[in-house]
Amino acid sequence: MSGQPQRALRMSYVVASVAGVAFFVMSVALLGWWPKRVLDEQSRAMGPEYVLPLSESARRGRVVYSREGCAYCHTQQVRYLHTDMARFGAPTLAWETRLDYPHLWGTRRIGPDLTRAAFTRSTDWHFAHLFSPRAVVPASVMPAYAALFDGAPDRPRQEARDLVAYLETLGRARELAAPEGEARAREACNCTDDEMAMMAFDGALNAHPGRARRTHEAPALPRSADLDRGRQLYGEHCATCHGATGQGDGPGARGLRPAPASLAEHEYSTDRLADVLWNGVWGTAMPAWRDRRPEDLAAIAEAVRALTRAEPNPPVPDHMVELGARVFRENCVQCHGDEGLGNGPAAAELAMSPSNFHRQRPSLDRAIRVLRNGIDGTPMAPWTARLSDAELIAVAHHVRGYYEGASAAPGGVRR
């Protein structure tokens, strides 16, 4: 080769090398640094003035989350896609992530996205699930984190408390900021003509199908129901907590406060079951099942009803009727309401709704037991200190009297 082309070749290599480095720098500038500037600006403009920082405990929980690789099964990023939004809620905005050092976006979803985990599940559900996922969700493949507990789901060690404290911050900032926060972000976004950016403000903030709702209309369930399918689904999804025979003694029940209801000791009206299945039981570990088809929910409701143990309904002695009504009026109406509809003046202040006796009837045994012991983990306290045995029995009879039968009209939708 003569000198001339050699020099040209050498020159071209030098040029290319410089260009190679330049492209790398360009990649960092265009795909790292520039997005960072845009996102920082967006965070400033669209986020609330002040974002609640992580508590010390939540910060430690984040470290546990990181070291256990939760992010390799759970993303923390709702994408701007309708399929994501329908399942998890509003797409992630930049400001929501501004305290994430380092980010935990993840690239694989073996379990569901956790961006909006706050206010989605109850604390006791988290403990039971972390301690033994399959005791709560039989088909789960999530690893058990029993090492974070002292041998039982209701004995979490500090690390487990920290982890759950962290989970309960996920999506919290945006939820607390709404709806004023949404309005502010939308305005600052100034992107009404940008279809994708606008998706961030479409639909529900948290669309999790299992999230319990305190009050919400529940569509009526289809009339015909397939009992066998219902039993199968009950076995797959409910028996873990409520037990195979509905006694509230499934493996997941350990550690739940309140404990799963003993379905065998209850009669439920159709609309009560529809309400529970669509909306869960607010304030407890009982999730909603909105991702199931209505026919399946009807089938499950049928299976729940079939669990009820038939009991004789002895006529109530006259003197008890009077006594029960009086005791109820004097002690119970502020929560359970004048008519036993669960809508007393104090009801709205409680962490969970008082029972509406028109739509469900506990067995006599169960009612007396509840009055003697209260229901652990709920505002329903024991009454033995205030009421005599006779009064307890009388008021137990009384509350049972409200029940309107399986197909009761939804006169008593909880408010």
By CB under 6 A, what part of segment 264-303 binds ligand HEC?
A: 266, 268, 273, 276, 281, 284-286, 289, 300
Residue with tokens 């397939």: 226
**Using CB under 6 A as the criterion, what x/- string covers residues 301-340 for binding ligand HEC?**
---x--------------------------xx-xxx----
Query: Does 122 sit near other proteins (CB under 8 A)?
Result: no
CB of 285 to other proteins, least distance (A): 17
Q: Which is nearer to other proteins, 94 or 332 (CB)?
A: 94
CB of 210 to ligand HEC, least distance (A): 6
* Positions in 204-243 near ligand HEC (CB under 6 A): 208, 210, 237-238, 240-242
Residue with tokens 């079951």: 273
User: What, of ligand HEC, other proteins, none, does residue 97 touch, CB below 5 to 8 Å by kind?
Assistant: other proteins
Residue type, 242: H
Torsion of CA 180, 181, 187, 193, to 10 degrees: -110
Residue type, 339: E
CB of 155 to other proteins, least distance (A): 15
Cα(413)–Cα(216) distance, rounded to whole angstroms? Answer: 9
Query: Does 350 sit near ligand HEC (CB under 6 A)?
Result: yes
**Using CB under 6 A as the criterion, what x/- string covers residues 157-196 for binding ligand HEC?**
------x---x-----------------------------
Contact of 237 with 252, CB cutoff 8 Å: no
**Using CB under 8 A as the criterion, what x/- string covers residues 209-228 for binding other proteins?**
x-------------------
β-pairing verdict for 266-268 and 360-362: antiparallel
Strand partners, 362: 266
Rg (Cα) of the chain, in Å, rounded? 28
CB of 132 to ligand HEC, least distance (A): 10
Contact of 334 with 344, CB cutoff 8 Å: yes
Q: Which of 207, 169, 178, 171 is nearest to 48 (CA)?
A: 178
Contact of 398 with 370, CB cutoff 8 Å: no
Q: Quick one: which of 95, 378, 394, 408 contacts ligand HEC (CB under 6 A)? A: 378
Look up residue 156 and give its DSSP letter. Answer: B
Cα(354)–Cα(398) distance, rounded to whole angstroms? Answer: 16
User: What, of ligand HEC, other proteins, none, does residue 87 touch, CB below 5 to 8 Å by kind?
Assistant: other proteins
Query: Does 346 sit near other proteins (CB under 8 A)?
Result: no
